[in-house]
Structures are given as C-alpha cells and as structure tokens.
Amino acid sequence: MPDTVKEDTNNYPALVEQFIKGDLDDARFKGRRVPMGIYSQRGYEPGEERYMVRVRVPGGVVTKEQLRTLNELSKEYGNGYVHITTRQDVQIHQVKIEDTPEVLFKLLEAGLSPRGGGGNTVRNILNSARAGVNPEEAFDTTPHNLALTEYLIKTRSSFNLPRKYKIAFSSDPKDDSLATLNDLGFIAIKQDGKRGFKVYGGGGMGGSSELGIVLEEFVEEDKIFHIAEAIKRFFDEYGDRSNKHRARLRFVRKRLGDEEFVNKYKEYLAEVLAEDLEVEDLNRYEELRESKGEKIDLTADYLYQEKVEGYYSLELRMENGDISYDELNSLLDLLGDSEISLRTTIKQGLLIRGVKGQQLERLIEKINQVNPNLVVSNMGTMPVSCKGASTCKLGLCVSPNLSEAIREKLITLGDKLQAALPQIYISGCPNVCGQHIIGNIGFEGKAKRYNDRLVPHYALFLGGNVEEGNSKYGEAAIDIPAKRIPEFLAELAKLLADDQDYNRVDFNEYLDKGGKDKIVELAEQFIEIPTYEEDPDIYKDWGKEEDFSLAGRGPGECGAGVMDIIQLDINTAKSNYQKAIKEEDNNELYKATVNASRSLLAVRGIDTDKDRVILSKFKTEFIDKNLVDKGYAEVLDAALDYKLGDIDSLLSYQGQIKGLIERVEFLFNSLNAKLEFELEEVTSDNNNEDKNILDSKVVDLRGVKCPMNFVKAKVAIAPLDSGEILDIYLDEGAPIANVPQSLASEGHEILSKEKREDGSYSLRVKKA
C-alpha cells in the first residue's frame, strides 16, 4: 500500500470531524470524500444520511482473509451485505459518516483501501477473472494489473484528473474485461516469442459511448507503465475540466479526431520514454503467474477447465451483486485454508479457482445449501444490474428490483427456454453502470409521461458484443413499461427456442438475419399503457407501493471536484453580499470577501479554512499575477483589519466588494479545459479584449481555434440574462461545426447559423 494512500487515510478523520462540527461545508467535504471512495446514498432524511464505501480490488484479486474483513465491516458498520460491482470493486453500504474513518483504517490493516474508488481519479484496473488459469490465454496478466495499479496509485497526480481514468487488461482476445471499451486497454498477445500487448485507447461507456481505437499493435510487457503514464499526462493536459459531462478521454478524441489523438499520444509516449521512469518490477509478482498444464475441453455456464488437468474454476453469481453476511461467512468457511483462490468478476460474482475435479460435486452441493441461487445453470436468468434508484442519486428506475422480477419469472420456465436467452444487462438510467450497451440484450431505465402521470420504462437495447476486433455497442430498439418486461422476456425465450434460424447462429447474427424485427414486433405487444383507473400498478416501479416519481434524484457524485467547489464559494459570496446590502451587515460583507477570495484558490491546488491564509494567497496568486486589479488589495486589507477589530465597518467598501465578486466569477467563466485563465493581464483601466467581449452582444471569434473559441464564447455568454441574444462570428470548418454543438449541450438555444460574405459564419445564440 503506497505511503500516499496511508497519508490520505490518516488525514481523512480530521475532515470528517470538521464536517460533523459544521466547519466544513457539504460541497467541499464531498470533493474530499468522493476521491476516497465514499459516496452519499439516496433515500435518507437530513441528519440521517448513510454512505457507501467502494473498496478498490485490483484485477479482482482478493484473499479469503480480505473478504472476511470486508464481510465483518459490512456487519459492524453497514447493512450486513457486501456488493460486488461491474468493475470488480467491493462496496459496503449504509455506513454512518462518523464510522467511515474507522472503516478505512481497518481496511488498511487488511491491505485494502477505497482510495480512488470515486472522483476524478485512476479507477480500479480491470483484469480477466480467469487470468492465470485460462487455457486459451496468451499469458497471465495479473502481475501487470497489480504492478500498474501500484505504480499509478502512489502518485498524487492520479487523483486530480479532469475525470475518471479507467484501464483494463484482458488475457485473451475474447476480451472478458472490456479492454476495447476503456480509456486504456491492454490485450495480451505473444509476438516472436515475446510477451506483449495490443493497446486500445479512447473508449468508454456513458454519455456518447465510444469503442477504443488501436494505439499500438504490439508493445513489450514492460512498456505498460510508460503507456499508462503517457495517456494520463495527455488526459491531464487536454481533458475538459470546465464541463464534467464532456471531460472523459473519449471527448478529447472526438475533439481532436482519431488521427491527431493517436499523434498526440505518441508525442507524450516519446516524452515518457525519454525519461528515467521509476516503474514497478514485474518480477515481484512472478509467483502469481499461471501454472502449466494440459487443456481439457470442458465448458459450462458456471464451470471452466483450468490449465492444469483436473482443476476447475467455479463461477458464483450473486443476485444484483449482493451477498449477505451469513452467506459469505458460510462460503468462506467452506473454502477454509485450502489453496483455492478467489477473484471478483465484472458480472458481479466470485470466481473460485483451483478446485480439484473430485471436490467439485461436493463443493457445489455445499454451496447450494448456503444459497441455491449462487450456482446458476443458465446465465440468462441472472441479469447484471446496477443499483439504480435504490441507492444512487442519478437512478431513474429501481433496476435491482426489475432484475429480481425477471429472475423470478424466468426460473419458472423449463431449462430449454432458460438457455435460449443470452446474458441480460440492466442500468437504471442512461449512465451505463449496469453496462446495458454491451449485452446482446440490455435495458436502460427512463421515465415517460402518460395521462399526466409518470410511468417507469426501459429502453430495450439489442446487439451489443465484446470481443477483440468485433466489439460493438447495442442500439435502442423500443421502450417497454417496467412492469411488462419479465413477461416480455418469457415470451422472447419461447420465440428464440422455437426459431430454427436462432438455433443455427449466435444472437447477433440472428438479429442481422431478421431476428431484430421479430423481437421488436413481439415487444410491441407489451407497450400499451392503460389509464390509471384501469391499471394503477403499471404506474409504479417494481417493489414500490407509491406511484413512480423522480423524488430523491439529484446530482451524482462521480465527478465531484474543483468546479463544484468554486461555484459553491462564488454563490455563497453573492448570497453574503445580497444579505449585507439588505441588512447593512458588516459581517456578511466580510464573509463575501473571504468566500470570493477562497473560490479560485482551488485552481491553484490550495484548500484552506484559515481566513488570513485565504486573503494572503489570493493576493499572491491573483492580484500579484495581474489576474485581478491591484486596487482590490485594499479591500482584502480592510477585511482583515475588520476581522482584527482595527476598523468598525466595511460598508464604504461594498462597491469594491461587489466588483471583486464579479471579477472572480468572470475569471471562473473564462477557465479553459486545462483550468487555465487564458486572459490578457488586467491593467489599471481594466481595458482588455475579454472585457470588450463581456460588454458586447456581438463577439468576433474569427481566427480563434478550437477549443479556445468555445471557452471565449462561454465567457461572452456568461454575464447575459436568460433569454438574451448573442451573435458570435466563427470560422468555417471545425469552429462552426463544434461550437454550436458545445453551446447547445449546455442548454443554450441555437437560433441560426448564417454564412457571411467573407466565408465565416454568424451564429445567433439565446442564453438558457
């Protein structure tokens, strides 16, 4: 465990104490706890909040002792369940905030930590759960996964990125850990007898999902550190920190184009390779490499032959990734001190590895006594599902409850019908945490309105696939009411089992041969919405007594970070100022000055609650560097004098305090993708290009290239009132293609685009 992680864990209790005392506001605390892997959960009243702790499990590698620790912590501090995620992490739910420091320390003692489990950080690095025992793999990628994890998480720059950075290793071309779909992916191959990787980059699921593109056809195994470092620096420089909805690496690729994206990556890689990079020694992990043995051709939905003859891996699937304290405790007792090893899987399960053939039948029998649903004969009956609206603030629908309803329905069917369905994936909203776009069949939660009431729905996605060279995302086909989906799937199983075309090809080939039309035609029989009086149940989500609503939904915390904190301080300063003017309150004027000064310090990496330090650092970082007029130094001095009791009033400074707040907000709106202020320095008369832009309803951005033209457009539109019109002059090509789309994505209305006589364009925008 790197020293930086230990240091951050040791510093965390003081933050919790400040938060509980009210000395640290919620938004600022969120920006510190989320990168520590601690998220607030939905459904709790103020003062009764509970939190989820997401524990990093690199490559799914977890010992039986560590699992027992996690289980005990879930009982002592949580809800008595552990949850396995689609990123091989383990989560503990419903923890009180005052208990989180103790949880973190006990995790650290077990060699575990949630550091980087959330926020704009290097997230848990995926690995093939069967790596090391899979007869078809090129080689075991577990050492590479663990070594790269250790290399990245010891560096603080890995925890202050524009957005999350996701990496994956797959040990064979079937790509069972989604390397072709991550920000950075490594697929193991051998070339001329050397171990190495084919490298993919710029992929990702979520808003505007993208498949990765090939960055390297082959690199030797010791270059994984250099490539990951190069991509991290590239992302750090080019990721859009000003818009967290377009901050992921795939948006950098969209902005630059594939060719320029690869060229830039190559530039950063050359820079890294020229350095004496201090990397991890892969030989430290040599004992984790696979054993050698003969392949035996044996497969099953839950059973895999290992490389060594007579040994098997057994896959357990937990419903919605949850396993109770008693069940996990019994399971760990069954495994005892044996040499059997464990891996968490991206399908929310556990892979038991190294089971001797003669032990299999007895082990499965005992596991069935613990829970008969852990060993699943047909994976189509056990959907992968995110937590949805059950705990997540972004969730629309309660996806785990739909998953349970589907399973209850499908297990009533015969084995032939159960086997006809492929793996099903469910997300409670468009954010793809349930990976619905990679499944042959996927469902995406959404809300639709009928008869002036909301009805929970899911979009049916068809055709997703993951395999090196053949990965693709599924496409939405039709929306189905949530309450009709289990019955639809039961009828779909019958359709597929009876269709001779389907029996001869795989699911996606079947779709291409006319099967998609048949499935949509079937789904159309389940989409009619009766009136509320005819069927009130369809207006409710699964497992809910009340009518469907979006109550409790709010901003998610995955992207908690610097921009949220800056905006909070600016808004607080404005509120302080308004109250001060209304009530002639000197204390509020003082607070307004401090909050305005503190807001932008986050851009400089400064986070302090000491007023004297705030005012001093603002002078150093903004006034002395000519980003704020030197005249405002007088205001800061007066504020400090007031605090010390040397003067009685700040009312004579209220105009200057207002000007300070406005200048700070102007600077905030001018931040570019790198969190840099690309403005001319202020002069004593405040006469500069950006002030002219600010005062004008026409802004000329001809000659300004992407993405700075968008930044300057944002600066120009920021001070306008809602509904005001701004005309922007832009060059043809990328500027007129990209800026309107970017402004529209932020909610502004594009009224017109007209070509001018000089070949440029005039863009008319109405502020949101």
Report helix, strand or coil for 620. helix
Q: Write phi, then psi, for 608 (nearest 5 degrees).
A: -140, 150
Annotation marks residue 433 as catalytic: no
In a 13 Å sphere around the CA of 484, the CA atoms on its Cβ side amount to: 23
Query: Which one, of 308, 318, 303, 406, lies nearest residue 360 by Cα?
Result: 303
Bridge partners of residue 169, in order along the sequence: 127, 186
Give, in degrees to the nearest 5, the angle at Cα 208 between 202 and 210.
Answer: 35
| Of 386, 429, 433, 706, catalytic | 706
Cα–Cα distance for residue pair 459/474, rounded to 1 Å? 11
**H or E segment at 494?**
helix 485-498
**Residue 344 vs residues 60, 80, 335, 427: alpha-carbon distances, Å:** 4, 19, 15, 20
Strand order in the sheet with 341-344: 61-62, 341-344, 349-356, 311-317, 303-305
CB 117 within 8 A of CB 104: no
The one-letter code for the residue type at 87 is R
Which DSSP symbol is given to 97?
G
Cα–Cα distance for residue pair 181/203, rounded to 1 Å? 5
Tokens of 230: 């190069």
Bridge partners of residue 425, in order along the sequence: 384, 442
| 51 CB neighbour count, 10 Å cutoff | 22
Preceding peptide of 707 cis, ω within 30° = yes
Give, in degrees to the nearest 5, the angle at Cα 58 between 54 and 62.
Answer: 85
Report helix, strand or coil for 218. strand
Query: Which one, of 76, 25, 20, lies nearest residue 53 by Cα?
Result: 76
Query: Which one, of 174, 249, 85, 248, lies nearest residue 471 by Cα?
Result: 174
Tokens of 447: 């809300």
**DSSP conformation letters of 271-326:** HHHTS------GGGGGGGSPPP------B-SSEEE-SSTTEEEEEEE-GGGEEEHH
Catalytic residue IDs: 706
